[in-house]
Structure 1
């Protein structure tokens, strides 16, 4: 496969069973860095494709009740995701560094912007891979301690503060007494909250409103995440928790996405014997409501 940059032949990429070799002329500066980044992206995308194949295989194995082999595949997903993190971070740092240089040509800047967008998408997908493997490892384990879900929610909010600030969102909370204890696995709960909040931020317009509320009841606890974003078309709300599904307006508003976040959230809530509801109006916003029973088993 020929490798071109702004009309100049740079070299080629050759594939074999166990070899990925990049043959290049001698380059300098931004061109060499771009080639390095592109070669990493090719390898990363090959790994992502392999992951999708493995997930399909998992479904077949689960139907056959081959839990041991499924566990092996989940371990591989976790390992692969951890290995992906470093090169993806390296790509993002390299790209950001190059974009800060002066006198970049228009075409080179466009290429770097595209690489930055794709590396961000890969980083998001890596997080989902880790979430899936974490849930797979913990879903069979009983809750061993009571956790303050308000504190856990605050931890997630702190992680997402940069994204919330970047969108200039007005962030509002309603936590009640400040202490709501429930028996649960903390990491799994944080996966739910983080996915819902990330979606709310991602699909909100600059200057919008984001609200998080935790309502305490003797029988159940309700966690609400509400935004004033793009909303979900009425005809697509019933599909929103399907694997790999993305609403039509979501694809145009934020092209990068994988359609796995809400699918994972629903799977976790079901495993906790809870419920999740969604109400939405296009161009006005969306509200997700998670209901968890006090006696989670």
Structure 2
């Protein structure tokens, strides 16, 4: 009996179509994800990855197609229904309230009560147990506004675990993380998969797929093309499947011939409306004939 159960995928999405007017964001997509695996969805921006996962998480309804969870056909009418089915989504843009604590954000929508009052202490103990178990370093009493981007993502993960999710969707989770935080996230995902949870990783980063995923399904122009063993497929094959043409990972470029300085920034300080320093004594020279890159994790002053 156990062997039969193992053959039934945690998630099976069959012939999923999602149209917005005459445009098909998902066009007859098929996807199977096993319990205990990290399954990557690879595709360019606009390929239909997030639309497909928004259907699975109840944010969107499919135009047609069927969804099976553990072999049983289901209709996921909204995010609350998805949560009851054990599906949790860690969104690329965090859905947190800055003025609330970590505990209050995690409880929101799944409140525990003691009599007529919120039972925050019991919730906090449960959250701390999850923090310890999965090594998701974050203080349950901290305000969201006072913690880092990486810690805010851990809060989003804790929200799904607090609701007993065993199918977790990560939507472009490394976009705002430092290299160290990316490695920590990969360890967390592997630990969750080792527990038997099904992990879906939406990404277009080939190296992260090879590091983290067990299998990868390529989506292009709203269609599911092929599923590969992530450890056995080359980055070139994945890239060519993703974009639909031959690609080169090398760039031949002549050295820049730069001219005189055309812009100088000296000791620039920028503060926001709350008097928080966004740019701290920055100096920069830009010369004619060159391309300047400004690199950094989101929210470190690039926009300012």
Per the TM superposition, whether the score is higher than 0.5 is no
The structure with more strand, counted as a fraction of residues: 2
Which gives a bigger RCO, structure 1 or 2 (Cα 8 Å, sep 6+)?
A: 2
The structure with more helix, counted as a fraction of residues: 1
TM-score, with normalisation over the residues of structure 1? 0.28
